[in-house]
Structure 1
């Protein structure tokens, strides 16, 4: 996420869509939308250390998946992060 992305204006429809998506995800995960937003921001911050991503294409969801044990279904974090390029790392 570039510095200019922080100042990019979103139209009200995009903002509403993002808020609804966070609300649905947080409801599935049984955590607040604020916590989901913090998780999303932390993931972006870590990933952008190593690669350039498309933050507009970022899709993070909480889904239900069957556990390997006999616990039934458990929440799982699913992240689809479009990678634009790898950053060069100095050793």
Structure 2
């Protein structure tokens, strides 16, 4: 059934694109980070983590949350497998 849904659903629907843009605007507003800085941070994290773990980058999310007066960096990193280390 998963293959069926992949074939006949649009992954990049305008609703999902708008939802992601709004999420990024809210994150930027909460943390006072530019969208460019947040995307650069996400890219750097993805690059470093990928050296040690094979991850599903489609599910990789980085958010900034505010708890009272503190900011927290929250990452959701779907791990597919651990890479062998030398």
TM-score range, shorter chain: 0.7 to 0.9
Using structure 1 for the length normalisation, give the TM-score: 0.71
Q: State the number of aligned residues.
A: 75
The 2-side partners of 1:22 and 1:83 are apart by: 23
Q: Which runs of 5+ in 1 are unaligned?
A: 1-9, 67-72
| Structure 2 unmatched runs, 5+ | 1-10
Q: Runs of at least 4 residues of structure 1 off by over 4 A?
A: none
Give the TM-score of the pair, scaled to structure 2.
Answer: 0.75
Tell me which residue corresponds to 1:82.
Answer: 78
CA RMSD in angstroms comes to: 1.6
Match of 2:20 among 18, 21, 25: 18
CA contact (8 A) 1:22 1:37 kept: no
Partner residue in 2 for 1:5: none
Q: Report the alpha carbon displacement of residue 23 of structure 1 after superposing the two structures with TM.
A: 1.5
